[in-house]
Chain A
């Protein structure tokens, strides 16, 4: 039996369903030509963002990637500000300057998401060093994919965090593919987490399709970091149900593999778990309905929102001196 209250369990379900349905809606909007640029979507990986972020305190911060919608929603960003940002509108979270890959809401601990693979690993480490130097019991999270495990910043950032004992947790969402390239073509070892040993920190593998497992693993790592125990590398084995980005039909993945992972879809799995805990399916259905309403509202808001004025181009290049 779990230690979590029913409200907490339902909150996690609500977040997972929100991410899935919101991403699905954004994809429709993209197909309708209402999203400029590109989309990198999170469907299939919801248990990771929700499992990790639900283990955090509000003052903890996360550093996300080019695939940030799940992380932003899980950390508490408003759907309105995300939808508007992705559609290039003035009241998006970054006034339309960021776009799909650069979602930010510092007020909820969502630091600017980063579209350079692996770059947030040393940055999250630096934030954690800042917390440590100030004696604050805050934790910084770096989310990244399996592709990032092969870039220099991964090695440099994790090693620095390890030797400085920085309060940071590295969360590798191993969805098996760096764009179209399977991990077996880029790593001679099976598990990214195995690399932790070479930095002298714990490496933990968790089923990234199981939100409760992710949450429990994340809580241990986060509390360890908060108590001064140093960083952990978590590898969540997961799968993205969509292509890498827009216009990627994912032909490099076979139907068998896809259906195997779809059968492990984290949302029905968690729903079954909740029902087994005695939660009324009607409660879940009404929760889903309210999620749909919030998504409708956010999308309508974003569609109606004005585009940023051209003069905004020139603002916030440099920060003003503090008074």
Chain B
């Protein structure tokens, strides 16, 4: 596929570019959140909205009080009258303060009104553990997947981030858009210490990566690894190491969890016959649990071993480096899990 004119972008730049293009194109698109447009401020918690208030003004890049229920609720109300708001939580964990507005309001309005109103909004949540402790670390996919009416998107790279956010803005439903803190690519003092910060050539024009699509990011015949966001990188690194030992791991980027392309996953499993799911959030009732159960239903007789899940343990996220390392699935843990899976068959 030809990308046309491209330029190098970080995740933060790619996300900003998607919003900028959507705002240029459609006056209904506007942003709201804490510290997102303050003059000489920092463009939200992770620089994503930096400069947008200069271009579009402070009405369309609307700084709000520290009021998560009001930010999300106002986005719901604006969306119901035909606007296309993009609301930002400074940290994804803060969404729980406004949870009613997501679960009872945004997700259910279309259904409760039998289709009379739509809620075309995007809720952007910076997620992932980054040495900040239990209340600034959660990834939260499972909460949203459990709630009908929401879409769930979790990109791992700048190309997907731009195309998926642009598609999310165009979607007619509330989209929960997860962005990993260690992938943003903030600069200077805003750079995260343990970050990966992928930079890619990204098309300059607007484009969509359709919601509900997954992506094979590495081919392999022996085992399928399902991972999203930060865990995609650790899985790819693990796959490189495994390749040195002759183990060919396929890696699928689970960049959209709702809608879920179960067919693509089933086809993959039919070829590799083994599945490892790598999740950054807690094990119990995590997103991978649902996928494991569905695959069990769909392709049980193709499996040579039980589906394996590698996730954070069922503890809150700790802060200290040594503890966080223990808490998160690491490359080494992924390698060991794959080996155990192959031996188990």
Contact = CB atoms under 8 A, between A and B. Distances in A.
A125 B70 contact: yes
Range for the number of chain A residues in contact with chain B: 35 or more
A321 B167 CA distance: 10
A124 B115 contact: no
Given A126-B75, A126-B78, A98 B105 contact: no
A97 B112 contact: yes
Interface in A96-152: 97-98, 102, 104-106, 111-112, 114, 116, 119, 121-134, 140, 152
Given A133-B59, A157-B70, A164-B62, A98 B114 contact: yes
B101 A122 contact: yes
Interface in B98-144: 100-101, 104-105, 109-120
A140 B77 CA distance: 10
B118 A319 contact: yes
Contacts of A106: 113, 116-117
Interface string A74-101: 0000000000000000000111011000
Nearest to A96: B114
A133 B60 contact: yes
Interface in B42-86: 59-60, 62, 64-65, 67-83, 85
Contacts of A157: 69-70, 73-74
Contacts of B171: 321
B116 A105 contact: yes
Contact of A316 (B64, B70, B115): B115
Interface string A299-319: 000000000000000011111
Given A153-B69, A153-B100, A160 B115 contact: no
A165 to B, nearest CB: 11
A122 B113 contact: no
Given A116-B100, A129-B77, A160-B65, A95 B110 contact: no
A315 B120 CA distance: 17
Interface of B: 27-28, 30, 59-60, 62, 64-65, 67-83, 85, 100-101, 104-105, 109-120, 148-149, 151, 170-173
- Report, nearest first, the 8 A-B pairs whose CB atoms are least far apart: A122-B73, A126-B77, A126-B74, A156-B70, A319-B172, A123-B77, A156-B67, A130-B78
26 contacts: A95-B114, A98-B114, A102-B113, A105-B116, A111-B80, A116-B100, A119-B101, A119-B104, A122-B67, A122-B101, A123-B101, A124-B77, A125-B74, A126-B85, A127-B78, A129-B62, A129-B83, A130-B83, A133-B78, A140-B81, A152-B69, A155-B67, A164-B62, A315-B114, A318-B173, A319-B110
